[in-house]
Chain A
Amino acid sequence: MNVGLAHYLTVSIILFCLGLLGVMTRRNLMVIYMSLELMLNAANLALVAFSRFNGKLDGQIFVFFVITVAAAEVAVGLALIVALYRRRQTVQVDDLTTMKL
């Protein structure tokens, strides 16, 4: 069977679900952040696949922007994690319960 759009979308969906699983189960902020990157990458793969099989390049431009925004987001997020670690000496989400009612 020829590899088509459906195959790429399947890979993308499974990768997205893996990222979601990581965000929901892991307790380390760094690993949660990496799982977020995984989800972003899954969306990128779906966009590139759509772009390829629709014969338009706009999807790839969108992926280009997603990568740029992800880089900015990672920089800010990691700075926040470092600031948090300085104050609380932990990156485990279990220990960060100040805002819990």
Chain B
Amino acid sequence: MQDILFYVFAGLVLICGFLVVANPFSRSPVTSAMFLVLTIISLAGLFVLLHAFFLAAVQILVYAGAVMVLFLFVIMLLDLKVEDRRRLKVFSIVTGLGASGAILFMFMRHLLHAPLVGQSATLSEGATIPLGHLLFENYLLPFEVVSVLLLVAMVGVVLLSKKELK
């Protein structure tokens, strides 16, 4: 059952991810954003299969909820509709396919020969309570630093979106 679900979610992730990047029917950024939402939700499904329940919830809340709404807001704010059909440059397609194909090839070659011994170890359970203990005991300093980072980002965004910079 879990294997079938893995293949379903993995297929969804890859198909929707491909449609984000290269949708043959529409070049509008809104469809890309919508397929990105689907990709993120299917990734949350994969997280559940990996027993990372808390992260699956965070993924949906933060990514599909907050980040994608921000994306859609900006897309609507910019009102992009004129530039639908531009010619893709052949050079960039060739280099892009070459680069990502090379990375894929190298990773897969090493993955096929790598001794993945993880199966024998005990599997981790990503419930909220052990995750919270780890976060607030071992990783307290990074947690606080991240809160400062969020503050900096907030101040930066407010400053950037002011009409007149003095």
List chain A residues, Cβ under 8 A from B52: 48, 51-52, 60, 63
Say yes or no: A35-B99 contact (C-beta < 8 A), given A3-B2, A48-B47, A57-B130. Answer: no
Instruction: Assess the B71–A14 pair: CB atoms within 8 A.
Output: no
* B142 to A: closest C-beta gap in Å: 6
Please pick, from B3, B20, B33, the residue contacting A2 in the complex, using a CB distance under 8 A: B3
Query: Which of chain B's residues have a CB closer than 8 A to the CB of A23?
Result: 96
The distance from the CB of A23 to the nearest CB of chain B, in whole angstroms, is 8
Question: Which one of B10, B21, B89, B149 contacts A18 once the chains associate, using CB atoms below 8 Å?
Answer: B21
CB neighbours (8 Å) of B21 from chain A are: 18-19, 21-22, 25-26, 31, 35, 38
Chain B count of residues within 8 A CB distance of the other chain: 83
Contact with B88, one of A16, A27, A63 (Cβ below 8 angstroms): A27
How many residues of A are counted as interface, with CB atoms below 8 angstroms from the partner's CB atoms?
73
A76 touches B111 (CB 8 A): no
Question: How far does the alpha carbon of A69 sit from the alpha carbon of B152 in the complex, in Å?
Answer: 11
Residue numbers in B under 8 Å from A55 (CB-CB): 121-124
Q: Is the CB of B119 within 8 A of A4?
A: yes
Interface residues of B in 1-57 (CB under 8 A from A): 2-3, 6-7, 10, 13-14, 17-18, 20-22, 27, 29, 32-33, 36, 39-40, 43, 46-47, 50-52, 54-55
Taking CB atoms, residues of chain B closer than 8 Å to A72 are 149-150, 152-153
Please measure, in the bound complex, the distance between the C-alpha atom of A75 and the C-alpha atom of B63, giving whole angstroms: 12
In-complex Cβ contact of A30 among B58, B74, B88 (8 A)? B74
Question: Could you jot down 15 A-B contacts, CB within 8 Å?
Answer: A4-B116, A10-B108, A14-B104, A21-B97, A25-B21, A25-B22, A26-B21, A27-B88, A31-B21, A34-B29, A52-B126, A57-B134, A60-B124, A63-B52, A83-B161
Chain B interface residues (CB < 8 Å from chain A): 2-3, 6-7, 10, 13-14, 17-18, 20-22, 27, 29, 32-33, 36, 39-40, 43, 46-47, 50-52, 54-55, 58-59, 62-63, 66-67, 70-71, 74-75, 77-78, 80, 83, 86, 88-89, 92-93, 95-97, 99-101, 103-104, 107-108, 111, 114, 116, 118-119, 121-124, 126, 130-131, 134-135, 138-139, 142, 146, 149-150, 152-154, 156-157, 160-161
